[in-house]
Structure 1
Amino acid sequence: MTTEAASNSKKPRPSSSSFSSLPEEVALKCLLHVPRCYDLNLSLVSKTMRSLVRSPELHRLRSQLLKSVYLSYDFYFYQIAMDPSPSYRWITFRPGEKTTDYQLEQRFPRHSLGYAVSVGSEIYFIGGRSLPSTRLWILDTQSGHIWTAPSMKVGRSEVNKTAVGVVEGKIYVIGGSEEDSQVEVFDPQAQTWDFVGEEKVTCESRFSASMKQKVYMVNRDGRVSTYSPREGINNDATEMPSDDIIKFVCVVKNVLYGCFEWSGLMWFNTKLKVWRKVVDRDGKDGKLELYSFAAAKMVEYEGMIAFFWPLCNIDPFKENILCKLIALDRLGEEIRGRIEWSGIVATLPRDIVLRDCLVVSG
């Protein structure tokens, strides 16, 4: 052996990095993003890895990432008249799993439910549905408890057109009163309401959604305006589909989507201020494939769009709730959609009316 080779053989080799050498907290956060289908393979790597995969802490962290759809419903007027204690009923489920994996949630008095918005595992009911109210109710979906929180300063209702959005964890309420009113913001951490600025504004939108630290407000004809805590109201001109009416809006991966009565599923180009059609996987008009004209609700779910609508059951006293999940892909200046999953997610009594549809974490 040469002197140089002997010298090299004595040099310490650089220590190779090992996953098991990471602090447990860091290792668990890494495993959190690995699909569960790989758990068995990971368990065979080492005793340490097997311990991490089976850790109750990893199970807890994963459960926090799980999202469920909360869908409320009640009955048509003639059935309500026969109910001595009218209330909304809630079901919860995860689309794409077994169709029997839904749960009936507790009832809540009808008068207590105003505009609904979710933040984490909590659902906030703001104001009144038909009559102005300053009330705020909070439902903790993990415990099932519902309680009243501090009231708003202005009475608001959905009938008077209300826009609600969540920006940086705070809930902003725009409009909803019989006269022009200031924007109010609720801080869930401090449990306080405050006015934002002194300007009184009017809300003309029927739909709202949160995106990029702004509240997007959409009129029935598709006109889009925004509210930002820093910039206030912005009413830039919008190029709209001619003679069409929007039915729902939602945000998926920082893109605003709208479902129109005749044009079908569309997305909003925020730079050009124009609505564009979502095409199918072949780049063709996907109106018939991607959208159901019977759809009653639309919501973002796990990076996809979920449509829901009731359909008759073979039992004349029951109704099925159908779901269609639309996966979305950006390709240049196009957004293409494809049906990822569809099926029955619940079977409920006949003649129901779907109300709120929210996605809740945890």
Structure 2
Amino acid sequence: MTHQHDAQRRRFIRSSTGVAALVIGTSLVNMSRPVQAQSLTHLGELQAPNDLGIRLPSGFSARIVAHAGARLIKDRWWRRTQYRWHTYADGGATFATADGGWIYVSNSETIGLLGGGASAIRFDAEGTVVDAYRILGGTNVNCAGGATPWHTWLSCEEIDFGRVYECDPYGERNAQPRPALGYFKHEAVAVDPNLGLLYLTEDEGDGRLYRYVPAGLNAQGDLNLESGTLQVAALAPGSDTEGYITWLDVPNPTPGLLQTPTRKQVPESTAFNGGEGIWYNDGSVYFTTKGDNRVWQLDTNLNHLQRVYDAATSDNPILTGVDNITVASGGELLVAEDGGDMQIVVIDSDGNLAPLLQIVGQDGSEITGPAFSPDGSRLYFSSQRGCAVFGGGNGFGITYEITGPFTEFMSI
């Protein structure tokens, strides 16, 4: 079946790296730097917890769109989808639909026997849930992932020798494994559409930052995820915080059980303390490392790495347990906490920090999967172990939607 989104006009150019790069419309990547409106760090103080236990700035509201094990109701009891939302929701992203609606995709960080994989919630143009369905099954501990410019979802297994699976958010095509992206404890992946490269994080205490160089394009004209070169980042000797990256080929990206793990195959490569979320925006990829509570920026054109936040040295260390990450229209980073104070924290281009929201009473949980609707007016995320029935943070997960004056802070 032909997707409506496949008809979007796009073309490829040859980048300076020698690989095909995707040029797409401004609905996906703003090719010029936006004019910045007021930063999301100026939303104001968080108010008292609402009836869902969420603290928000004035003018914002929240609702539950799904909770683990429950059917997602459409608009009448006789028109409900039979699909039950998955447990332990993790990384997520949104995708536009032809009718003006959108889809929110979410991973399930549990073993395949208990569900696992990834699922999707479909909304109409008014934001009403109209469908829910599975897009990936039979996989294990799917943590975060990443959206592609050609409208697929890359779901990452966070297990030893884990793989990446390419999924169709629209539910029309079967998910496909992408072993060329490597076997390791995957966390997340981001696509640089200008250079035609993928960047991947690894959730190990001595994990690596990887880059995948596709072998050209596939038959559909998208980046080839079946054949390419997996590389690992190496900073200059003596530097572990910033500097220029050298990319070194990984000799065996798909090691067997008794073979050398991917992260240990290139001794000169740089270790990162627990790679977590990663997101591309305007010529850079931003990623987090949980072991040292850092947020990093890699300029993908210059291959230069620097820290944009470090809890150990920050003048305002309100962000800990760094995990999933996304980017708002104005370029602000939104970082979700795994534990910490159960916040989503905004970091603006000047390095200012402010909490966007806080979940109260779910300290045993973590916030996962932050993603804006395509028009930037709604924010989706989950409390991975939130309990919708009895409250607290020892349940199987709740997925929320936040609405408010986000568009007043959008770039113009």
Question: Residue 320 of structure 2 aligns to a residue in which SS?
Answer: coil
Deviation per CA, 1:221-252: give whole Å up to 9, x if none: 34223264326343223125266513443333
Deviation per CA, 1:156-183: give whole Å up to 9, x if none: 1226x775442311223466788787x6
Structure 2 distance, partners of 1:266, 1:274, is 11
Q: Which residue of 1 aligns with 2:234?
A: 239
Letter aligned with residue 191 of structure 1: E
**Structure 1 residue aligned with 2:129, among 144, 157, 182?**
144
Query: Does the CA contact (< 8 Å) of 2:148 and 2:154 recur in 1?
Result: yes
Note closer, same or farther for the CA distance 1:162–1:233 as it changes in structure 2 (3 Å cut): farther
Structure 1 distance, partners of 2:53, 2:369, is 10
Letter aligned with residue 345 of structure 1: L
Question: Residue 314 of structure 2 aligns to a residue in which SS?
Answer: helix
* Per-residue deviation, 1:353: 0.8
Query: Does the CA contact (< 8 Å) of 1:129 and 1:157 recur in 2?
Result: yes
**Structure 2 residue aligned with 1:217, among 176, 200, 207?**
200
Q: Which residue of 2 aligns with 1:208?
A: 189
* Per-residue deviation, 1:184: 4.6
Note closer, same or farther for the CA distance 1:257–1:140 as it changes in structure 2 (3 Å cut): same
Residues 1:353 and 2:383 are matched in the alignment: no
Note closer, same or farther for the CA distance 1:144–1:296 as it changes in structure 2 (3 Å cut): farther
Deviation per CA, 1:296-346: give whole Å up to 9, x if none: 44332232112344999xxxxxxx754432222xxxxxxxx321x624624
Total equivalences in the alignment: 252
Query: Does the CA contact (< 8 Å) of 2:208 and 2:232 recur in 1?
Result: no
Note closer, same or farther for the CA distance 1:111–1:227 as it changes in structure 2 (3 Å cut): farther
Unaligned runs of 5+ in 2: 1-33, 39-51, 70-84, 96-101, 215-222, 241-269, 376-412
Note closer, same or farther for the CA distance 1:138–1:180 as it changes in structure 2 (3 Å cut): closer
Residues 1:338 and 2:351 are matched in the alignment: yes
**Structure 1 residue aligned with 2:141, among 142, 145, 158?**
158
Query: Does the CA contact (< 8 Å) of 1:255 and 1:268 recur in 2?
Result: yes
Matches within 5 A, 1:1-362: 97-98=57-58, 101-109=61-69, 111-112=86-87, 116-120=91-95, 121-126=102-107, 129-131=110-112, 136-141=118-123, 142-149=127-134, 155-158=138-141, 163-173=145-155, 184-189=165-170, 191-193=172-174, 195=176, 202-212=183-193, 213-219=196-202, 220=204, 221-226=207-212, 228=214, 229-230=223-224, 232-240=227-235, 241=240, 244-245=272-273, 246-260=275-289, 261-262=291-292, 264-271=294-301, 273=303, 275-278=305-308, 287-289=313-315, 292-297=318-323, 298-302=325-329, 303-309=331-337, 321-328=342-349, 337-339=350-352, 342-343=354-355, 345-361=357-373, 362=375
Note closer, same or farther for the CA distance 1:99–1:323 as it changes in structure 2 (3 Å cut): farther
Report the TM-score, using the length of structure 1 for normalisation: 0.53
Unaligned runs of 5+ in 1: 1-32, 38-89, 313-319, 329-336
Please say which structure displays the higher CA radius of gyration: 1
Deviation per CA, 1:52-91: give whole Å up to 9, x if none: xxxxxxxxxxxxxxxxxxxxxxxxxxxxxxxxxxxxxx99
Note closer, same or farther for the CA distance 1:251–1:197 as it changes in structure 2 (3 Å cut): closer
Report the TM-score, using the length of structure 2 for normalisation: 0.47
Q: Tell me: higher relative CO, structure 1 or 2? Use CA pairs within 8 A at least 6 residues apart.
A: 2
Structure 2 distance, partners of 1:233, 1:92, is 44
Note closer, same or farther for the CA distance 1:211–1:117 as it changes in structure 2 (3 Å cut): farther
Letter aligned with residue 169 of structure 1: H
Letter aligned with residue 335 of structure 2: F
* Per-residue deviation, 1:215: 3.6
Query: Does the CA contact (< 8 Å) of 1:304 and 1:327 recur in 2?
Result: yes
- RMSD, matched Cα: 4.6
Select the structure that is richer in strand.
1
Question: Residue 256 of structure 1 aligns to a residue in which SS?
Answer: strand
Letter aligned with residue 275 of structure 1: L
